[in-house]
């Protein structure tokens, strides 16, 4: 086994210790010290440099059947992470290499090498592989181009547009020839970022009034694509604003994740029928075939400066839960990253 001189034997990792009722609380989690096993054949030991917190993780805290298994109680949580190889018993990976993998929420991880992707810190900052070049970026790319069947000239509305996914959706739509891109966000500062930095044609703060009225003002000729990250009032407003044969990609419904009672659906679902709309949920792992095209096209836009991104960085594994709770409250602009 190849290893650095001082291979660690102890790590800290976050465990879910109680299933949240409504909004998660700090006491639902525990940071625990564990002994690290030796890597087996085909495995590597990784020191995590950055880890991701994402909205979908809230659903995994509930003990319900879904597209991904729930977190187990008193076991380490997981999620996207990028780190440096410390020790290796796998061909093609050596100490000092950097990999993207799925065992976040911990300082060190023993990972099957076949479940990692080698990344180049010289091509992009390591944290970018968790955001604009990672799962959120791929979600935006596939959700807009494949699921929503975006075509040049479409008018696009994105809810939660200042987040890691929404900010990329709007910019990709502009780069691909959208006639108009509108975003909603939860603060006036985020609205400013959408217009001045990301090039949205219009944006509004959904806390400043009726979503339907603000959307109509921003898109008087209607919209052709709605990228759904929020749910609730946003979906009802979008159904009214969509033009015939419009498409909806349902990526997330963050407004409902912490609800303790069933939430009412849109009152205007008849619009789906009258306008012949298409509404489709998406899971990013269904679109792996697009990954080479995604890396090539988005990587090119990043190098040229045409695509911009922001990160909200929280320092230290001790504050990982704080970062996650802040994400659910909308305290991030762009991708929420925990730097270890």
Q: Can you name the CATH fold of 135-285?
A: Rossmann fold (3.40.50)
Query: What is this structure's pTM?
Result: 0.90
pLDDT digits (tens, 9 = 90+) for 164-186: 999 999 999 999 999 999 999 99
Query: Fold match between 2-131+310-339 and 135-285?
Result: no
Residue 4 banded pLDDT, cuts 50, 70, 90: low
Residue 148 banded pLDDT, cuts 50, 70, 90: very high
pLDDT score, position 6: 66
Query: CA 97 to CA 118: how far, in whole Å?
Result: 7
Residue 260 banded pLDDT, cuts 50, 70, 90: low
| Residues 6 or more apart whose Cβ sits within 8 Å of residue 216 | 240, 241
Query: Three-state SS across 246-259?
Result: EEEEECCCHHHCCC
Domain ranges of the chain: 2-131+310-339, 135-285
Residue 26 banded pLDDT, cuts 50, 70, 90: very high
pLDDT digits (tens, 9 = 90+) for 191-238: 999 999 999 999 999 999 999 999 999 999 999 999 999 999 999 999
Residue 66 banded pLDDT, cuts 50, 70, 90: confident
pLDDT digits (tens, 9 = 90+) for 265-302: 799 999 999 999 999 999 999 999 999 999 999 999 99
Residue 3 banded pLDDT, cuts 50, 70, 90: low
pLDDT score, position 252: 87
Q: What is the mean pLDDT of the chain?
A: 95
Residue 1 banded pLDDT, cuts 50, 70, 90: low
Written as one string, the DSSP assignment of 170-188 is: HHHHHHTT-SEEEEEESSH
pLDDT score, position 158: 98
pLDDT score, position 96: 97
| Residues 6 or more apart whose Cβ sits within 8 Å of residue 255 | 230, 231, 232, 233, 234, 263
What tokens were used for 88?
A: 């290796």
CATH number of the structural domain 2-131+310-339: 3.90.180.10
């Amino acid at each position: 086994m190849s290893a650095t001189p001082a291979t660690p034997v102890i790590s800290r990792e976050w465990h879910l210790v109680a299933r949240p009722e409504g909004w998660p609380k700090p006491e639902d989690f525990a940071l625990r010290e564990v002994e690290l096993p030796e890597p087996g054949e085909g495995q590597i030991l990784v020191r995590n440099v950055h880890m991701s917190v994402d909205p979908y993780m809230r659903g995994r805290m509930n003990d319900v059947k879904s597209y991904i298994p729930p977190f187990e109680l008193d076991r380490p949580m997981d999620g996207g992470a990028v780190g440096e190889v410390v020790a290796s018993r796998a061909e093609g990976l050596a100490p000092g290499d950097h990999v993207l993998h799925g065992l976040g929420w911990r300082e060190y991880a023993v990972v099957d090498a076949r479940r990692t992707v080698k990344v180049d810190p010289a091509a992009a900052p390591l944290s970018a592989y968790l955001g604009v070049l990672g799962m959120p970026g791929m979600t935006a790319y596939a959700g807009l181009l494949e699921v929503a069947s975006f075509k040049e000239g479409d008018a696009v509305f994105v809810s939660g547009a200042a987040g890691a996914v929404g900010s990329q959706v709007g910019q990709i739509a502009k780069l691909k020839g959208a006639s108009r891109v509108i975003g909603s966000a939860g603060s006036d500062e985020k609205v400013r970022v959408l217009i001045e930095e990301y090039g949205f044609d219009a944006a509004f703060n959904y806390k400043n009034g009726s979503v339907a009225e603000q959307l109509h003002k921003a898109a008087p000729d209607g919209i052709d694509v709605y990228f759904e990250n929020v749910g609730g009032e946003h979906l009802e407003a979008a159904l009214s604003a969509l033009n015939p044969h419009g498409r909806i990609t349902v990526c997330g419904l963050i407004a409902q994740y912490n609800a303790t009672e069933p939430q009412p659906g849109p009152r205007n679902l008849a619009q789906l029928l009258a306008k012949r709309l298409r509404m489709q949920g998406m899971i990013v792992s269904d679109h792996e075939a697009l990954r080479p095209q995604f890396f090539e096209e988005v990587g090119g836009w990043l190098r040229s400066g045409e695509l911009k991104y922001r990160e909200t960085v929280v320092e230290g594994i001790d504050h990982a839960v704080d970062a996650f709770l802040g994400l659910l409250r909308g305290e991030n602009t762009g991708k929420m990253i925990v730097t270890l």
